[in-house]
Amino acid sequence: MSFITAIHEFTSSSGLIDLFQNNWLLGLSLIFVIIFCETGFVILPFLPGDSLLFSTGAFLSATGHSLWWAGISTILAAVLGDMTNYTIGASRVGQYLRQRKWINPRHIEKTEQWYQRYGGATVSIARFIPIVRTIAPFLAGMSKMEIKRFAVYNILGASCWCMLLIAAGYWLGKIDWVQKHFQWMTLGIIVISLVPVAIHFYPKSKTAS
């Protein structure tokens, strides 16, 4: 079984429920690690942060657990992840990764365009955009963005991203239709999160053609 397959099986509703029922602390710890890795390492943008947070909220709703511990844990993971990514970007390692093209140059270009349009707020806005949220803190470090300014946007973005998606899963998870079509819901979340990127870049690609 591949690593990616194992991650997606874990983040499915059944995978979360099975694990949480057997060991709540282990499940929460694994969610912490996945969120930290997605936001903390620029070469891991494929990890399913959005769907994982939504699935966590839905599980909490189904089992009656409080969402606060999960919220605090995931926010902490997201904040520490972005700070780690920022530090890597600011170091010589960041320059090496970029020169060696370990990161898709097109992903870097798209994230830089987000910075040009939204400035420092990109650190917060990027949380809701797959791939961009993994590249943004790395580029913030490479561009030597002021650490205090970065920290403010980092905490703000992490708090909104984690709590909004967990809360969405928590409240929507009580609906019978959502429980029966959970995989479609998580897929829909991923598609919706990609809409801003499509809207932003489609006119440019159309003009270029």
pLDDT reported for residue 156: 93
Over residues 173-201, the pLDDT tens digits come to: 777 766 565 556 656 665 665 555 555 54
Q: 27-31, 62-66, 121-125: lowest mean pLDDT where?
A: 62-66
Q: Of 39, 121, 44, which is closest to residue 87 (Cα–Cα)? A: 39
Over residues 145-182, the pLDDT tens digits come to: 889 989 999 999 999 999 998 998 888 877 776 656 55
Alpha-carbon Rg for the chain in angstroms: 17
81: tokens are 């992840």
Find the domain containing 62 and state its range. 3-208
Task: Decide if pLDDT at 143 tops 50.
Answer: yes
Task: Decide if pLDDT at 203 tops 70.
Answer: no
pLDDT reported for residue 102: 67
The model's pTM: 0.74
Q: Calculate what percentage of the chain has a pLDDT beyond 90.
A: 20
Number of domains the chain is built from: 1
For residue 36, name the pLDDT band (cuts at 50, 70, 90): very high
pLDDT reported for residue 16: 58
Q: Of 148, 139, 169, which is closest to residue 71 (Cα–Cα)? A: 169
Distances (CA, A) of 115 to 45, 125, 136: 18, 10, 8
